[in-house]
Amino acid sequence: MKKSDLPTKICPVCQRPFTWRKKWEKNWENVRYCSKRCASSKKSKHQEPC
């Protein structure tokens, strides 16, 4: 599979697209955030992009 064919999602915190990773293979349906930084700042109202 080409990298361009991998599934993507939009991070609800920074609004940036992020691509499927091998480490998320078994848990892709539950992945919401592009990074730990976005996951930890999900509750604050004023966010800076990753």
pLDDT in tens, 2-41: 878 899 999 999 999 999 999 999 999 999 999 999 999 8
Those residues with Cβ within 8 angstroms of residue 6's Cβ, 6 or more apart along the chain or in another chain: 19, 20
In this prediction, residue 15 carries a pLDDT of 96
Those residues with Cβ within 8 angstroms of residue 33's Cβ, 6 or more apart along the chain or in another chain: 11, 12, 13, 39, 42
pLDDT at residue 45 tops 70? no
Those residues with Cβ within 8 angstroms of residue 16's Cβ, 6 or more apart along the chain or in another chain: 10, 34, 49, 50
In this prediction, residue 2 carries a pLDDT of 81
**Token digits for 40?**
């930890």
